[in-house]
């Protein structure tokens, strides 16, 4: 069984490399690398948005939330995330697709005027989530490969990361998007097949609901303070996530950009129910797992059999890889577009940009592996990245879009204040236990943006 499974996983990885190599043949310019030549149709746009959002965070972290806290998983995936995506689709996607942006930092600098300080600071904060998401995915893959094949977790992290680095480096966002279409197909198979099998093994939904703690049948079983932290970190982060923005820029039309996000929001609502019910069903079968993030792996290993388990394991790895490549591409885009092309060498040629992008992918890839081996917790990595990105970027971007009085100085202060406040309160604790660190980061960012803008430094000041 292990030999067959290893062969299937190897075939999957080889297929992803082949798709990446094929995509590299279509990649001729920097625009192709960053936003796919702005040519994605509805299927590709939808698939790459959904696959980007559904990775180790769904298969390990959110099923783990369902296992430990039941329907609280709905607040995470079926409420906070889709509301944020809906707002992005409704109020910003059409306008964003109408611009010639490549990154979220381009959006920021369009509003406040080109500035080395603002561009560098924004790109660093954008990269915080991208790097956190990149770190989380190979960790998730390493945990799964360890359980199902016996490979050390560290070896699994390295193998998964190496495959993703190679095909992302080869084909840029085209390789990412095209592999996402294939990976999403596998994920749909797993979602459709897995839940009814596990519910049946648990004795039906009635048995599941009677077996879990009563608070897990409510939305606040995890506690109101944790729910608030999730909501404040996740909802605004969806609006400012570069992985979503780059797929908006890559859509063939404004309508496709909007509809792809709406499809993503609907899928997120459904997957939240799936994760909650699956997690609770696993709990009713085995309530004694020491690590909640092992719930999905345990049920595949002990409940599923034969070809079903092989397909589901391949789908889980597909989900993880689909988020990993998006995060890796996003992080490298910050370094290549925002730092190298716009700050260090504004006149760089396409050939130079492409060369630097590949170097950046390799550097970020290696850094993610090192961090992941040192701190292998998927949920914590994702939440920290979400929190700092949301706190640093939400108010500077949104106020700059709607308020003519917002200035570059205000944006810089808002970004710095949001990130630093979140980190400080995360480390030392918050004044009120029920208010999470991200709340204080968002508050600090809003106050700093408004206060410094009121000082009278306007966006028409000459660029630095």
How does DSSP assign 361-397, residue by residue? HHHHHHHHHHHHHHS--HHHHHHHHHHHHHHHHHHHH
Domain of 56, CATH number, reads: 1.20.1730.10
| Per-residue pLDDT at 325 | 84
What's this model's pTM, rounded to 2 decimal places? Answer: 0.88
Q: Write down the pLDDT at residue 56.
A: 62
pLDDT for position 381: 61
The count of structural domains within the chain is 1
| Neighbouring C-beta atoms of residue 431, cutoff 10 Å | 7
Position 420 in a domain: no
Taking the mean position of all CA atoms in its chain, how far away is CA 306? 32
Asked if residue 448 belongs to a domain, the reply is no
Q: Does residue 437 lie within any of the structural domains?
A: no
Residue 92 lies in a domain: yes
Average pLDDT per block of 10 residues along the chain, 464 residues long: 76 84 81 90 91 74 91 90 96 96 96 94 89 78 78 85 86 84 80 90 95 94 86 89 94 97 95 94 94 84 78 78 83 92 91 91 87 64 75 96 94 96 84 78 96 72 41
| pLDDT for res 163 | 87
Q: Say whether 95 sits in a helix, a strand or coil.
A: helix
Closest CA to 268 of 49, 29, 31, 18: 49
| pLDDT at res. 371 | 78
390 CB neighbour count, 10 Å cutoff: 30
pLDDT for 376: 55
The verdict on residue 90 lying in a domain is: yes
* Radius of gyration of the chain measured on its C-alpha atoms: 21
Return the pLDDT at 463.
41
What residues contact residue 296 under an 8 Å CB cut-off, 6+ apart?
59, 60, 63, 64, 278, 282, 316
Residue 440 lies in a domain: no
In a domain, 382, yes or no: no
The range of the structural domain enclosing residue 136 comes to 2-375
CB atoms < 10 A from the CB of 271, how many? 23
Evaluate whether residue 458 is within a structural domain. Answer: no
């Amino acid at each position: 069984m292990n030999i067959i499974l290893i062969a299937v996983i190897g075939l999957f990885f080889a297929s992803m490399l082949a798709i990446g190599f094929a995509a590299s043949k279509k990649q001729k310019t920097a625009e192709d690398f960053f936003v796919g030549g702005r040519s994605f149709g509805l299927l590709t746009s939808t698939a790459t948005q959904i696959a980007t959002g559904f990775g180790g965070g769904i298969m390990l972290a959110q099923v783990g939330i369902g296992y430990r806290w039941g329907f609280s998983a709905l607040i995470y995936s079926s409420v906070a995330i889709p509301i944020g995506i809906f707002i992005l689709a409704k109020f910003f996607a059409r306008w964003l697709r109408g611009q010639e942006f490549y990154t979220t930092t381009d959006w920021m600098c369009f509003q406040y005027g080109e500035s080395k300080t603002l561009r560098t600071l924004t790109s660093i904060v954008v990269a915080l989530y991208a790097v956190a998401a990149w770190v989380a995915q190979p960790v998730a893959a390493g945990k799964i490969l360890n359980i199902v094949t016996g490979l050390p977790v560290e070896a699994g992290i390295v193998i998964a990361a190496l495959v993703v680095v190679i095909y992302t480096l080869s084909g840029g966002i085209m390789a990412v998007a095209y592999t996402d279409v294939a990976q999403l197909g596998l994920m749909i198979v797993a979602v459709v097949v897995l839940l009814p099998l596990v519910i049946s093994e648990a004795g039906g939904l009635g048995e599941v609901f009677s077996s879990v703690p009563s608070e897990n049948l409510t939305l606040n079983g995890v506690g109101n303070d944790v729910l608030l932290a999730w909501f404040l970190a996740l909802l605004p982060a969806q609006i400012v996530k570069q992985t979503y923005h780059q797929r908006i820029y890559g859509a063939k039309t404004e309508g496709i950009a909007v509809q792809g996000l709406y499809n993503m929001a609907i899928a997120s609502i459904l997957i939240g129910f799936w994760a909650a019910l699956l997690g609770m069903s696993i709990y009713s079968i085995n309530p004694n797992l020491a690590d909640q993030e092992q719930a999905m792996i345990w049920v595949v290993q002990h409940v599923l059999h034969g070809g079903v388990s092989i397909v589901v394991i391949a789908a889980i790895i597909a989900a993880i890889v689909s988020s990993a490549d998006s995060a890796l591409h996003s992080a490298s885009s910050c370094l290549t577009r925002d730092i190298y092309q716009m700050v260090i060498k504004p006149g760089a040629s396409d050939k130079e940009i492409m060369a630097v992008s590949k170097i950046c992918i390799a550097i970020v890839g290696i850094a993610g592996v090192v961090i992941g081996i040192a701190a292998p917790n998927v949920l914590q990595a994702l939440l920290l990245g979400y929190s700092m990105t949301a706190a640093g970027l939400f108010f500077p971007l949104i106020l700059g879009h709607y308020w003519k009085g917002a200035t570059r100085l205000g944006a810089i202060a808002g970004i710095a204040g949001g990130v630093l406040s979140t980190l400080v309160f995360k480390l030392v604790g918050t004044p009120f236990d029920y208010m999470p660190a991200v709340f204080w980061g968002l508050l600090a960012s809003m106050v700093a943006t408004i206060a410094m803008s009121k000082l009278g430094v306007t966006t028409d000041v000459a660029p630095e």
